[in-house]
Structure 1
Amino acid sequence: MRPFKSSLVILYICLVALLAATTFMEHAYGTEFVEKYVYHTIWFCCLWGVLAALMIAALVKRQLWRRLPTLLLHGSFLVILVGAMITFLCSKKGYMHLTVGTEVGCFIEQDSKRVVELPFALCLDSFRVKYYPGTEAPADYISYIHGAEPISMNRILFRQGYRFYQSSFDENEQGSWLSVNYDPWGIGVTYAGYIMLGISMLWMLASRMGEFRRLLRHPLLRKGGVFVLLIFGLGGTVQAENRSLPALARKQADSLASKQVIYHDRVVPFNTLAHDFVLKLTGTSSYGGMTPEQVIGGWLLRPEVWQNEPMIYIKSAELRHLLQLSSPYARLTDLFDGQNYRLQEFWKGGQKPHQKMTSLEKAIMETDEKVGLILMLRNGTLIRPLPEDGSVKPLSETKVCAELLYNRIPFSKLMFMFNLAVGLLAFFYVLYCSMRSLAGKLIPVLTIALYVSLFCQLFSYSLRWYIGGRVPLSNGYETMQFMALCTLLLTCLFRRRFSFVLPFGFLLSGFALLVAYLGQKNPQITPLMPVLLSPWLSIHVSLIMISYALFAFMMLNGLLAFCIGGWRKENVGNEIPDGRKIRVKQLMLLSRLMLYPAVFCLGAGIFIGAVWANVSWGRYWAWDPKEVWALITFMIYGAAFHGQSLAIFRQPRFFHCYMVLAFLTVLMTYFGVNYLLGGMHSYA
């Protein structure tokens, strides 16, 4: 490798490693530490500057002006870096406090804490919190400014180059806190880079002379693969032993299911409240063969009996040991010693507020939440009927029926069991066929199963969308549901030309649904925070999850290639059959083909997320761990495009190994950041 190329590659690797290490430093030492010693330092900016200079030299050396889409793509990165540098050097950020009837003509700068004068003054006429109907959940925060448009979440006030964002408010609602951002040049330059990036990506996908279109025409990718579907029986639910417990009669309980109440700041059928109550306490949606309505009715009628029923599930063995429990289920009376609340004896969290909670403390909090639900039910504060004055609009009969259907069918459980079982059987069958160059005859059956799975997942997702009245993309459960849907849709698109992706579609969607099921088991559908009510968020998350699904396909391609092993000798003196070599080459070509839409969706998702953040908080990049790991993923997969300059990426063995290992960054971005590093984007 030539010195120039070596310098560029080494710097690129060092920068990626530095970004990864800094996220762990932030977790250990805090955000202010990494901002002071890494992100906001001259040497860090110089690293990016050197990388940009080497990139320009490489563009000139390879004469990329002859390949305009590629030139525009790399040029967009340079423009984005220039915009970021302008923002870093010239922007001002701060906050100002407005009280009703008082003019304010200055703000406090964020870093230096000095007072900065404005060329104008703002006066707050009034402040109002807008709530979801009949609830205390805020739908928006609105500051009414004299002589100007109101400021609210996702609605900015522009004046003479300054932008004002709704940040917080006083408890008495007589004052409002605004974030202030002055960046007249950096944002425009950066947005220009985003536009260039979008145009270049679409151009590269559409260009007849580009590699993407050449891969689509490759003769090896016109050949299909073979897989099979085996029909199997799914296990049923396990019935609990019968107990003589006081409860509502089944007919009376069923009549309560569609009654409407206010729960989790929205209007729901009573079945939703009862379902969540039983699910949180026991970990299952029913108890002792009784419906959720019967259980909650029993607690209301005879609490002195039910408090001795072992139905509070405690997962932590450590907490069970402290409570001296012989089974995973505790009675309410097990948690009280007379008037003494036993969990209070073990809680030490208040003594170390700045440290991460231990597993025991988390278990105590989870159990305390379950006790709180029971106490709220007994005190009459859990169930809130709709007010009789008509101030809250009831749900339509159609919406009630839809939510009852959603609660009663365990879509995630059935779907992950079906998809994983089919996917595993199909994967081993295709491996068997590939090793022996056999042709399968059951692809039509597998295709039918794929469309059945897609229809069920689409129906479940649409039902949740209809019930919640918003796109379900606000938490980890919903994004995993969306990823499963994207995976099945992509499989349907690819299956005609690349039939060997069929088992991958089942496996990936099945694992996504399994993660959703294990993580939260159908969490409550709640109104969104005001800042999340933005179309930019839906587009941002959708593109990111589509890219993750494509990356997962590429990872499975690599694993299958390693199982086939078409790059080594089968035995001493016996070469691998040509058919196996062709299949490995075919898998590599397919991964290279998927690389384009995968990386482009990830890049577009990152920068659309930056636009959303700029509209909502006044900054398009904050070096949050999630943002950093998304950038790392983008950079690592982006390196795989450079097969012409880096010959090693043209070797099937290295390419497949790289795709498998690169997927670890996807796992880190989604799961690792959520559950290990935390940050603004954490779902945990």
Structure 2
Amino acid sequence: MKTNKILKYTTIGSAAAVILMMAAATIVEKLYGTENAFRHFYHSPVFIALWAVTSISGVLLMIRRKTIKKPATFFLHIAFVLILAGAFLTLLTGKSGSMYLRRGETSANWSSDQGFRQKLPFKLTLKDFSIEYYPGTKDPSDYISKVVVSDTNTEYTISMNNILKHGGYRFYQTSYDSDLNGSVFSVSHDPWGVSVTYTGYIMLLLSMIGFFFQKNSGFRTALKARSEGFSKPVRTVLLVLNILLFGYLTFVIGRNWYRSGHGPFVGTYSVMMLMAWLVTVAMALLRKRLPIIQPLGFVLAGFSILVASLSFSDPEANLMPVLRSPFLSVHVLCMMVSYTLFGLVALIGVVGLIKRDNETRSMLRDMSLSILYPAVFMLTTGTFIGAVWANISWGNYWGWDPKETWALITMLVYAAMLHSSTVSRFAKPRFFHAYAIIAFLTVLITYFGVNFLLGGMHSYA
């Protein structure tokens, strides 16, 4: 028992330290630049050691507790260890940089991110470069380079979200010359890291799916909770209002989708309207099992619509070329579903603190848990789908961009709530509800804080 206690506090302490370091790193990056953030935080020996300690102590604790008897739970955690191992391999063995070619030029030389000259085992020739535009506009829809690989004498097309893979190297369209006669490609060579990381992603997805079917899982236990319903007239009024709001939002989103030619996945206005729409869907699906969701849902939907109305983003603007990817819709949809559910959990937390009797608080805690499990899993899925998309788009599945970092922080903060067997305080309803309210601050920072304060590649305000 003493060993278990040591492992438990070691895991909790190191994970908390990782979260604090990541939060501090995003602030340092904003104030002092990306190089300082990477040197003092993300690539520092202390940061790497903390991740290692968290992983090792966590796995040892699971082994001692015989978590293997719950295969989905066990392999879900092992998947995270694999993902971290893949990231470490990328750090040790991966190379990245850039290659510049003029039209008709043949070369095997490229420069690493550290400024060192590197040589490919083959040569590339730039045959042509062109820009495609949205019809009737001067907005670029794609940047296209045509290259020939020397060892096979084969012509390939490199464009946004369409990379060239050859000889263990990957090439991505990054930039171009103003005279349209030159191209800049990002180059990535990561023979081990990506494979291990992707194996972790697949194991994670399968484990999360299996978890919902696992006997006596926390999710199944929480689902047994029942809450008191409203009178029939009140239920009818709430349902009618729900349907009307759903219809209105569907019309607005559909109209903008038709006019712009893309879904509501970019820009504050579009994403907030999508979130409001998702709230109405959640209200309709959960109204019988969790009646309290409907009144709280109207509050969250109203807030989302208010934020959308205050936004200056154009829902009908053309997408940047890098955003023209099928991964965009899946990634954003998963993230916004999770944010929506986290918002509902926070509102239930407010109600839980207002209520005086412990029985009601306990019931509300179980209700929150039944929402929290799919919320955390959707956030996890969305985050790692985004990582796959990033790897396809610019050759780096994790770049410690502020939005990525805060999404990971949010994931870890909320995942803690699912570990009441390890952190016993989460079994106490009052603490659970208070934590749920405070935890929602990480969601607000991830979306609004990054978009309007911290900046980065994801700051599509």
Amino acid at match of 1:465: W
Cα deviation, residue 135, structure 1: 1.8
Aligned ranges for residues 489-500 of structure 1 at < 5 Å? 489-500=281-292
Is the 1:224–1:497 contact (alpha carbons within 8 Å) kept by the matching residues of 2? no
Q: Which runs of 5+ in 2 are unaligned?
A: 149-153
- The aligned counterpart of 1:142 is 144
Q: Which SS does the other structure have where 2:170 is aligned?
A: strand
Tell me how large the CA RMSD over aligned residues is: 1.4
Partner of residue 336, structure 2: 545
* Aligned match of 1:118: 120
1:456 to 230, 234, 248: 248
Q: Distance in 2 between matches of 1:518 and 1:56?
A: 47
Q: Does 1:28 align with 2:31?
A: yes
Among 384, 388, 395, the alignment partner of 1:611 is 388
Q: Which residue identity is paired with 1:447?
A: L
Q: Secondary structure at the match of 1:145?
A: strand
- Pick one of 664, 676, 680 that aligns with 2:441: 664
Amino acid at match of 1:649: F
> Per the alignment, in what secondary structure is the counterpart of residue 206 of structure 1?
coil
Distance 2:418 2:75 in 1: 15
- The answer on 1:80 being equivalent to 2:78 is no
Matched, 1:564 2:371: no
Distance 1:40 1:647 in 2: 33
What one-letter code is carried by the residue in structure 1 that aligns with 2:336? M
Q: Distance in 1 between matches of 2:317 and 2:234?
A: 43
Match of residue 414 from structure 1? none
Query: 1:512 and 1:651 mapped to 2: Cα distance?
Result: 30
Find the aligned partners of 2:229 and 2:364 in 1 and give their Cα distance.
10
Q: Secondary structure at the match of 2:188?
A: strand
How far did residue 7 of structure 1 move? 2.1
CA distance in 2, matches of 1:128, 1:609: 27
Kindly indicate whether the alpha-carbon contact (under 8 Å) linking 2:18 and 2:47 is maintained by their aligned counterparts in 1.
Answer: no
Deviates more, 1:100-109 or 1:540-549: 100-109
Q: Is the 8 A contact 2:267 2:314 kept in 1?
A: no
Unpaired segments ≥5 residues, structure 1: 227-438, 567-580
Matched, 1:446 2:238: yes
Number of residue pairs matched by the alignment: 453
SS of 2:318's partner is coil
Q: Which amino acid aligns with 1:100?
A: R
1:43 match:
46
- Number of the residue aligned with 2:425: 648
> Contact between 2:15 and 2:51, CA under 8 Å: does it hold in 1?
no
Distance 2:172 2:420 in 1: 45
Residue of structure 2 in register with 1:570 after alignment: none
Identity %: 42
Name the amino acid aligned to 1:43.
V
- 1:438-475 CA distance string (max 9 Å, x none): x6742111111111111111111111111111112111
Report the equivalent of 1:633: 410
Q: Which residue of 2 aligns with 1:253?
A: none
TM-score, structure 1 normalization: 0.65
> Which residue number corresponds to residue 222 of structure 2?
215
For 1:342, the equivalent position in structure 2 comes to none
Bigger shift: residues 635-644 or 42-51: 42-51
CA distance in 1, matches of 2:387, 2:94: 17
Cα separation, 2, equivalents of 1:45 and 1:526: 41
Give the equivalent residue in structure 2 for 1:511. 303
TM-superposed deviation, 1:557: 0.5
What is the DSSP-based 3-state SS (H/G/I as helix, E as strand, rest coil) of the residue aligned with 1:519? Answer: coil
Q: Which amino acid aligns with 1:144?
A: K
State the match for 1:287 in structure 2: none
One-letter identity of the residue aligned with 1:61? R
Give the whole-Å Cα distance in 1 for the aligned partners of 2:105 and 2:14: 53
Residue 424 of structure 1: aligned partner: none
Q: TM-score normalized by structure 2? A: 0.96
Distance in 2 between the 1:100 and 1:15 partners? 47
The answer to whether 1:99 aligns with 2:102 is yes
Q: What per-residue deviation string (whole Å, max 9, x for no partner) do you get for residues 215-239 of structure 1? A: 22x2x42x4332xxxxxxxxxxxxx
- CA deviations on 1:388-434 (whole Å, 9 max, x unpaired) are xxxxxxxxxxxxxxxxxxxxxxxxxxxxxxxxxxxxxxxxxxxxxxx
Which digits, 9 at most, give the CA deviation of each residue in 1:548-570, with x for residues without a partner?
A: 0000000000101111122xxxx
Structure-1 residue corresponding to 2:151: none
Task: Determine the structure 2 residue equivalent to 1:467.
Answer: 259
The separation in 1 between residues aligned to 2:144 and 2:228, in whole angstroms, is 57
The 1-side partners of 2:459 and 2:147 are apart by 34
Q: Which amino acid aligns with 2:216?
A: M
